[in-house]
Structure 1
Amino acid sequence: MPSKDYEIKVDNQAVGTKLKVVKKFDWRNYIVYIAFIGVIIYFSITLGDQGFVSTDNLLNIVRQTAMISIMGIAMTFVISTGEIDLSVGSITALSSLVAALALQAGFGLVGGLVAGVGSGLLVGLINGLLITKVAIPSFLVTLGTMGIVRGAAMWMTNTAPVPIIDNNFNWLFGSGDIGLIPILLVWTLIFTVIGHILLKKTAFGRQTLATGGNESAAKFSGVKTWKIKLFVFLGTGLMAGFAGVLYAGRMHAGRYTFGDGDELSVIAAVILGGTALTGGMGTVIGTVIGSLMIGVINNGLIIMGLDVSQQMMIRGLIIILAVAFGKKSGAKS
């Protein structure tokens, strides 16, 4: 009899394990992937004869969303710490102009890249120091720098665009293709891999999530949370600066209008992808899928012939529904 009780106990434990595995699977964790596939299927059926599924159109969606995806990867780290950065759109404008001016001054491809990315890194450093050392909320700091940086971009060229005639720069940072693959897709994939590994496989990533999950507990466990926050804002400045370089390369010019409103699209992509707005959970791959889904929706609505007001309403509704369904989800990969 004792042995039978033991067997029953083992069986119960096994059943409990199975139930636990089943319980851990929550479809809301994968809402962005389900929604993304659903949106593609819907538009493929309804707009298939209007060119939605053509290779050119799908690659065009990738080009249009590349900068949002790249900035979103960095924003995933910021939001995972429970902070936010509203200045990324303005940084892209500034960095595009700085890169274009550096090229115009004869500093070459590398000089243009360093100047453009460096300007973004500088803004990120200022944001990070004001947030961590002066203890000003990130919303207020980045709201202020958003206006300052956009104004500086307008002032430095008197709102005039700065053309870029360096074909190598334009090809490498925006308008080039490797066979059928846009160079913008290559850059997106590179940063997606780097961001995913950094967030999920490194001590920095674990500390980032710990800082957002419970900052006090993270401090007690030895995490220098102020350094983590400083580095994540340096990251958004760096990636927004690089996105500005990509804007400049794709459009063959630097313009103060680049990135206008991108901060909202970036934040939407991050939250849509499964990163918790309150911090503690983050997913780089989900962010990129969220960005692509926004791009697919925009593209599909345009092909359908809806006017701008209708597009805005439908996009907003879809984002609200997707986030609501996945509200209590845990971020996956």
Structure 2
Amino acid sequence: MPAEQQSAQRRSRAWRIARTLLQGDRPYMLYIAFAILLVVFSFASPWFLSIDNFLNIGRQTALVSIIAIGMTFVIIARQIDLSVGSSLALSGMAAALAMSHINDSWIVGAIAGIGTGAIVGAINGFVTTRLSIPSFLVTLGSLSAARGLALMVTTTRPEIITNDTFISIFGEGSIAGVPAPILWTLLAVVGGILLLHYSVFGRQIYAAGGNPTAALYSGINIRRVTTLAFVLTGVLAGLAALVLSARSHAARPDVVQGMELDVIASVTLGGCSLFGGRGFILGTLLGSLIIGTLNNGLVLLGVSSSLQLVIKGVIIVAAVAFTRK
């Protein structure tokens, strides 16, 4: 095969991949919004435009970004999961308790944390699909139940984590200067892209959310696909729990209350439709980074916390309005 033809095929393949990653309705608005935030805060604060600050933004947004990858699958499937914050708290407690009672093994702790998140997701998916109860109500109930269980197992007290390997792998370690929380975020993003955009399961998720009737007549098991989406979200909530527990050197049952709102905001800001059938992983990541950058820049500018909430709310609504379907 001539070299020119091989080069043309490589360029065509690269273009198809780029087009897949950038798919969505008017995604360029996300990049414009992100670029405007970077420019404005760079001029407004002399401390914003630095590697250390960007790494700090990455660490601050890691938990939301990781869980938002899973939430993207759930929302594309025309569902919602309000229990991710409580699932994270319960998963963190499970990981810490497993390590403290089973030979202080970080592997056991990781399995316990991720497994607990998967169980919560499986329960959400099973009740939603088998009992035909709206996922909003199901996950609202599991939000309360999981949080209550996390408080019960330790009588509201934190569980200290002393395993240095666990803390290094999930919280304080780094590779080539990149902190572990950011590395886990990148791993979740790459896995989410491959699963959503390059697998049969991803195509089934889009079909189940876009037109459930047509998907059913096409032979797609909508119950199974939807349940797996909830399980994936639970797994990623468990991973986020490991990251948070390692960074804090402890698991607390009262952490990240209200995180589900930031997660859902990141997904919708990233171009995912709450009516299902539309969304892409890179958009979700950008949505999370926009919210994280906005929080970081407002703190550097010394804006009061109450005004921060007002500004963030207005900007999120405006951004979603520009990127809506």
Considering the TM-score relative to the shorter chain, is it more than 0.5? yes
Q: CA deviation at 1:274?
A: 0.8
CA contact (8 A) 1:79 1:276 kept: yes
What is the aligned partner in structure 2 of residue 142 from structure 1? 139
Aligned equivalents of 1:27, 1:232: Cα separation in 2:
23
CA contact (8 A) 2:24 2:280 kept: no
Q: Secondary structure at the match of 1:139?
A: helix
Deviations 1:70-124 (A, max 9, x none): 1000000000011000000111111111111111112401000001111111111
Aligned equivalents of 2:95, 2:255: Cα separation in 1:
13
Aligned equivalents of 2:227, 2:202: Cα separation in 1:
14
> Which one-letter code corresponds to 1:169 in the other structure?
F
CA contact (8 A) 2:104 2:163 kept: no
> Which one-letter code corresponds to 2:262 in the other structure?
S
Which ranges of 4 or more aligned residues in structure 1 deviate by more than 4 Å? none
What is the aligned partner in structure 2 of residue 75 from structure 1? 71
CA contact (8 A) 1:94 1:256 kept: yes
Name the CA shift for 1:27/1:46 in 2 (closer, same or farther; >3 Å): farther
Aligned equivalents of 2:25, 2:97: Cα separation in 1:
49
Q: Secondary structure at the match of 2:27?
A: helix
1:93 aligns with 2:107: no
Q: CA deviation at 1:190?
A: 1.1
What does 1:28-43 correspond to in 2, within 5 Å?
28-43=26-41
CA contact (8 A) 2:24 2:279 kept: no
Match of 1:184 among 170, 181, 186: 181
Deviations 1:285-327 (A, max 9, x none): 1101111110000011111111111000000011001000111
What is the aligned partner in structure 2 of residue 311 from structure 1? 308
CA contact (8 A) 1:247 1:258 kept: no
> Which one-letter code corresponds to 2:157 in the other structure?
A
Match of 2:52 among 56, 59, 68: 56
> Which one-letter code corresponds to 2:79 in the other structure?
E
What is the aligned partner in structure 2 of residue 18 from structure 1? none
What is the aligned partner in structure 2 of residue 65 from structure 1? 61
Q: Normalising by the residue count of structure 2, what TM-score does the alignment of the two structures yield?
A: 0.91
What is the aligned partner in structure 2 of residue 172 from structure 1? 169
CA contact (8 A) 2:91 2:238 kept: yes
Q: Secondary structure at the match of 1:277?
A: coil
Q: Secondary structure at the match of 2:155?
A: coil
Structure 1: where are the runs of 5+ without partners? 1-24, 329-333
Larger Rg: 1
What is the aligned partner in structure 2 of residue 244 from structure 1? 241
1:102 aligns with 2:98: yes
After the TM superposition, which of the residue ranges 170-179 and 296-305 deviates more from structure 2? 170-179
What is the aligned partner in structure 1 of residue 211 from structure 2? 214
What is the aligned partner in structure 1 of residue 286 from structure 2? 289
Q: CA deviation at 1:191?
A: 1.2
Q: How many residues align?
A: 302
Q: Normalising by the residue count of structure 1, what TM-score does the alignment of the two structures yield?
A: 0.88
Aligned equivalents of 1:235, 1:28: Cα separation in 2:
27
RMSD of the alignment, in Å? 1.3
1:276 aligns with 2:273: yes
Q: CA deviation at 1:27?
A: 8.1
What is the aligned partner in structure 2 of residue 156 from structure 1? 153
After the TM superposition, which of the residue ranges 175-184 and 234-243 deviates more from structure 2? 175-184
Aligned equivalents of 2:94, 2:305: Cα separation in 1:
32
Identity across aligned pairs (percent)? 46
Q: CA deviation at 1:257?
A: 2.2
Q: Secondary structure at the match of 2:131?
A: coil
> Which one-letter code corresponds to 1:154 in the other structure?
L
Aligned equivalents of 1:204, 1:161: Cα separation in 2:
38
